[in-house]
Chain A
């Protein structure tokens, strides 16, 4: 198991892409080399020209820099308390490391189990209608128990819209099952249509999820670019066969970039500058792990076969093979998760604010193996317990490093200010827990 990345905003691996409208030509960290630096009387201020790569926050900051008298160079500026004249990007404090803010998870396994089991049962007795409400409650529990700097995250999705989305998916699925049994050609057709729709589905899910996640009264926002999504998910996939799959880790990296860099929180944009190297290293190690397991399991099978003198393997004799193979796949999956968790978060920025991740691969693997054992023994009933354990550890490994007072982050555009918020005008909420 893992945790459905869908369940938690910060457990889900941050998203990904290609160049986006706000690509990050690191113009930010550098002081604007403009006349704005020169102290001037407010009436004579020469306003800085915005650059095409500037985000609204950049522009606002540049404005503030220009309009306010430049702070005298303080050797060690008090960082957090400085509400009035925050140390802005233009005046990087020399060497003083901003304090780390930890993410705290307040969820409780027993409490979450009760919530999960009651909602699952209600889903069953309502023949799945309640599933939408159950999903919202589960997510609200996980997000609402995630605290950063004294405040909780909020999940605001309207269950009725998820219900409509579920119905649409169910109808499509049933139609597919019934028609597909009769006309196999339809299966191929559906497959192609599904592939063509994939970018749209990904983007819609991300946008729905972001729109319904809020912190301190402000919603997250996902910039919807279908063309870019098609390029990232489908266009780059075409490169896989030509490179014998060697492109795969880079492809995954670009997906992450596409997801992360199209997110914003108010006027603070997410950026991702992860490198290909760690992705390659991670996937090579994971691949070696699986290859080794196949070799070991294969040898084991060979020994059993020689010993038993059978020509055909029985199910029971193949069991060790599948057990070793399956467990290794599971371990490899979580190995990848832990390694990339660190790399991706350490290379993700929200505006100038940074994230620091230090998940220990060994501890994460131990945790997930424990979860797997518990899930198998309990036939899945211990899922909530596993979920809470995973979330608690993952969040304890993640810290936020504000570059300045985050109160400065402000609303951008009409949409995210609306508390009732269902203004995106979408007919239904698509949410595949990507």
Chain B
């Protein structure tokens, strides 16, 4: 027995309020007013959930409504009848500042975790279960818009056949229903590019075909795109895009009024974050494809450097916003992975392949001599050919000179391995320096008359006077 609840009853017939007090006795609610008392079975009365200090409403079976501010008394009724438990718990949570603080932290953390970790996993899984036929249809739809945006290719049939031959070198191991299909388009003279769409479409632009200095570089580009295709990056980004949208809008449904401009910026960043990761994965895949086709993965590093130089300089100014990982970063990763792949391939593969691969395998650390170890009768490695590095366009225009100190190993055959930047005057010099050094050839260093692996440090300088002459056409200079 508790104190009666004071409030107003509305008949549902008109708006006239009638002051009443309501008592809870046994199983009944007694509504007492001037005109008499009406009793209702407690269980026939619906009671609105408690929310903050909002008045409670009791809905009686005969259509009448009670409005009362006596929240606590109504709660006591419900407790004594063991009703409204779930709503009571929610209200309890809603009243606590600490709960609110904890909820805020949890919410922010879980939304970020979902967006940055959960979605990619789900998207990947989903992308790999989509049937090939559906993936193909999605790709065809994407191709239609590509055709609208880009111009028709001006490549001759012979040039197209050349690209196709490079592709054929790489796709031997792919199942027949996943053979990529080449599509030739033109970017209108600028921005050399190639990209993969879902369903095995590889779009090759005239500009990148012209940019590639040799067949192997072209093959490297194609291998990279095959990497995108085999990792289903096209579908994954579709799923990520729509799923992110779904999650964000369902959680922040309330925020729909936030105008578009503020909400698109994080999405742009997010999307670009995805792409970075995809590029790295495609590079990794490409190295495997290239090694399997017995093509030196250095070609990927070389064409990447060339691509970077072709990009309009102002797009490179904001590398944190750029879709692709910085080229230097990628080249370093290619270097590292190449060796890992090589080692695995050697262990698993036949002898004939091993010999070939051995050229790209770096010597074991213990087997490398320092220059100082060579002794008096020893000879350091002698350069046979040294390719000059490409001068980064932006730096050349800004008239910035500088140098990069690299360390590398010259193996017993005179090839360069494990190029590392020790220090550099400008980050943008690093990639071209590495790309150049890996192409160098040496007469191997000797110790006691036998060729040995030697670790060498060297400074690669970027001087504007040199660059003017050999920009674009790296000349081979005899030492």
Report A's interface with B, CB cutoff 8 A: 1-4, 106-108, 110-124, 128, 131, 137-138, 140-141, 144-145, 150-152, 154, 156, 173-174, 177, 181-184, 214-218, 266, 308, 310-312, 314-316, 322-323, 325-326, 329-330, 333, 372, 375-376, 379-381, 383, 387, 406-411, 416-421
Contact = CB atoms under 8 A, between A and B. Distances in A.
Contacts of A419: 12, 46, 59-61, 63-65
B14 A409 contact: yes
A218 B15 CA distance: 7
B54 interface: yes
A152 B104 CA distance: 30
Nearest to B16: A407
B255 A383 contact: yes
Contacts of B57: 154, 156
Given A4-B257, A182-B138, A218-B10, A417 B54 contact: no
A312 B315 contact: yes
Contacts of A4: 254, 256-257
Given A182-B138, A330-B259, A314 B251 contact: no
B15 A137 contact: no
B262 A326 contact: yes
Interface residues of B, number: 69
Nearest to B238: A181
Nearest to A323: B261
Contacts of B99: 114, 118
A142 to B, nearest CB: 9
Contacts of B51: 115, 137, 140-141, 144
Contacts of B348: none
A178 to B, nearest CB: 8
A406 B260 CA distance: 43
Interface in B250-272: 250-262, 268
Contacts of A316: 318, 321
Given A2-B257, A315-B321, A408-B14, A120 B55 contact: no
Contact of A216 (B17, B141, B258, B261): B17
Given A141-B52, A182-B137, A410-B14, A124 B259 contact: no
Contact of A411 (B13, B138, B315): B13
Contacts of B103: 117-118, 120-121
B48 interface: yes
Interface string B101-133: 001101110110000000000000000000000
Given A114-B96, A217-B11, A406-B15, 13 more contacts: A111-B94, A115-B94, A140-B49, A141-B54, A182-B137, A217-B10, A315-B318, A322-B261, A407-B14, A411-B14, A417-B13, A419-B46, A419-B65
Interface in B75-107: 90, 93-97, 99-100, 103-104, 106-107
A121 B99 CA distance: 11
Please indicate which of the listed interface residues B14, B16, B96, B254 has the most CB atoms of chain A within 10 Å of its own CB. Answer: B254
Contacts of A215: 15
A312 B312 CA distance: 8
A52 to B, nearest CB: 25
17 contacts: A113-B100, A140-B48, A144-B51, A145-B52, A184-B141, A216-B67, A217-B64, A217-B65, A218-B12, A312-B315, A325-B261, A329-B261, A330-B259, A381-B108, A408-B15, A410-B13, A411-B14
Please indicate which of the listed interface residues A116, A326, A380 has the most CB atoms of chain B within 10 Å of its own CB. Answer: A380
Nearest to B11: A217
Nearest to A137: B51
A362 to B, nearest CB: 20
B214 interface: no
Interface in B41-59: 46, 48-49, 51-55, 57, 59
